[in-house]
Amino acid sequence: MPRAYVLINVESGSEDEVLKELKSVEGVEESYFSYGVYDLITKIKADTMDKLKEMVTRRIRTLSKVRSTLTLIMMEE
């Protein structure tokens, strides 16, 4: 089952709002505030790589107040 961490930058002051929205997205396992370069870190999972891609591009990146994302796909040995 594909999993990824999505590092997210949001509009200033909207961290709480976006975190709440993220937690309602199907496939989001965990979401946290972060201090540093990125505002939020979210761990996601999907049944296939195509569904994972769709989740990032159509569900997370399109949330209002999301400015940018960086996706780190986790690999198994």
Helix (H) and strand (E) counts in the chain: 2, 4
Break the chain into its structural domains and give their ranges.
3-34+42-74
pLDDT (0 to 100) of residue 13: 95
Quick one: pLDDT at residue 75? Answer: 85
- Please check whether the domain covering 3-34+42-74 is classified as CATH 3.30.70.920: yes
Task: Give the whole-angstrom CA distance, residue 68 versus residue 62.
Answer: 10
For residue 77, pLDDT beyond 70: no
- 3-state DSSP call for residue 74? strand
How far is Cα of residue 22 from the mean position of the Cα atoms in its chain? 7
What is this structure's pTM?
0.93
Average pLDDT over residues 61-65: 96
Q: Per-residue pLDDT tens for 3-54?
A: 999 999 999 999 999 999 999 999 999 999 999 999 999 999 999 999 999 9
**Residue whose tokens read 């999505």:** 6
